[in-house]
Structure 1
Amino acid sequence: MATTYCDVVARMEPGNVHTHYHNHEYGFPIHDDDQLFGRLVLEINQAGLSWTTILIKKDNFFKAYDGFNIRKVSQYGDEKIAALLNDAGIIRNRLKILAAIENARRIIDLQQEFGSFKNWLDHHHPMSKEQWVKLFKKHFKFTGGEIVNEFLMSTGYLPGAHHPGCPIYKKVLATKPAWNHLQ
């Protein structure tokens, strides 16, 4: 049997950055567009790095990206990009920073069409991982298979965040809409 995130967290010391994320965030549905956008930004920034690095820098990302306010991020210009590239508290990767800005702009377009980013996600749910990846690549920058998979698992749209024996599994399941229990 493959090792899951649940198994890894169970072996960690209490208070580890992964423990809070696993027990209170991972796999739980997110209803707020700015929070969904924030999770997407974090998943994009994790590419090529460890999730530990992202969790340690999570609060810094929140501050640097104006609380992941989609409207504010969509308006970032050269001055803000330069500030982000010089912010040691986040991942200073130009492609990832530019992807966050462009993705914020694209989410605004989806909000105009669907009412919210969450409504757009719900409109397409359920789909297979492969279908989601194709859809995300059509609409967003810097969204490959692993990024899309982790974003959707971490926000409750794809199964697999917790195994059924994990004590958090039932808590996550109880927070999902009835249509999501079919996964």
Structure 2
Amino acid sequence: MIRCSWAGDLPLMIEYHDKEWGMPLHDDRRLFEFLILEGAQAGLSWRTILEKRENYRKAFDGFDPAKVARYTDAKIRRLLDDPGIVRNRLKVNAAVLNAQKCLEVQREFGSLDRYLWRFVDGRPIRNSFKTFKEVPCRSDVSDRMSRDLAKRGFKFVGTKICYSLMQAVGMVNDHTTDCFRYQSGE
């Protein structure tokens, strides 16, 4: 079975590639999860974040934005002491702020899903890259998304983070053309 080369041979990465990456996702809580995890990944490997994902889910109340938005300074201090997550004060504070902003987006657009997917007109962008070296780290769409999120007050939403989010949640299909998931990624 041929996969995208980045999946490597680590079972955790293979499972993520085979079952999640690039599959269109429309669940607000999961979209919020990926928004937070992609921001947490900045400067780190996705493998590191995947290895900590279950800890993140516990630490961040299953990524319920309504709960995360109400985190107190005491809760943030506990998170910064939790070795199961990336203990970066800026990233943890951004997660709480982004939860608050997510609630605002949900009120304005009806859902985080509607807000994010409008950047691609509700349909995945299907690329046709032969090798993973061809896959970009940003696009015009991720640039627009990044600017809009930043204008709304979100943090850790640069264009590269937004593009990674788009890949993860299936807004863009960047499976290489020889990957078995290329045809199923929409």
Task: Name the TM-score class by shorter chain.
Answer: 0.7 to 0.9
The offset of 1:145, in angstroms, is: 1.9
CA deviation after TM superposition for structure 1 residue 134, in Å: 1.7
> Structure 2 stretches of 5 or more lacking a match?
122-139
- The answer to whether the 8 Å contact 2:142/2:160 transfers is no
* 1:155 and 2:169 matched: yes
The counterpart of 2:9, out of the listed 7, 12, 34, is 12
Asked if residue 60 in structure 1 is aligned to residue 73 in structure 2, the reply is no
Q: 8 Å contact 1:32–1:118 — kept in the other structure? A: yes
1:128, distance to aligned residue in structure 2 (A)? 2.2
Superposed CA RMSD in Å reads: 1.5
Equivalent pair of 1:129/1:158 in contact (CA under 8 Å): no
Cα shift at 1:142: 1.4
CA distance in 2, matches of 1:129, 1:72: 27
CA contact 2:39–2:91 (8 Å) conserved in 1: yes
* TM-score with structure 1 setting the length: 0.85
Alignment partner, residue 134 of structure 1: 147
Following TM superposition, by how much is the alpha carbon of 1:8 offset from its aligned partner in structure 2, in angstroms?
Answer: 2.9
Instruction: State the identity as a percent.
Output: 40
SS at match of 1:171: coil
Shift in Å, 1:31: 1.4
2:173–2:182 contact (8 Å) kept in structure 1: no
Alignment partner of 1:169 is 2:182: yes
- CA distance in 1 between partners of 2:151 and 2:23 (Å): 25
User: Structure 2 length as normaliser, TM-score?
Assistant: 0.83
Partner AA of 1:35 in structure 2: R
Question: Which amino acid in structure 1 is aligned with residue 91 of structure 2?
Answer: K
The Cα shift of 1:132 comes to 2.0
Deviation of 1:44 after TM superposition, in Å, equals 0.6
Tell me the distance in 2 between the aligned counterparts of 1:61 and 1:29.
22
Q: Could you report, residue by residue, the CA deviation over 1:65-117 in whole angstroms, capped at 9, with x for unpaired residues?
A: 00000100000011110110000000001100110111111110111111100
Instruction: Name which of 75, 81, 85 aligns with 1:86.
Output: 81
Residues in 2 aligned to 1:168 and 1:143: alpha-carbon distance in whole angstroms:
27
What number of residue pairs does the alignment pair up?
A: 165
Cα distance in 2 for residues equivalent to 1:135 and 1:165: 34
Q: Which runs of 4+ in 1 moved over 4 A?
A: none
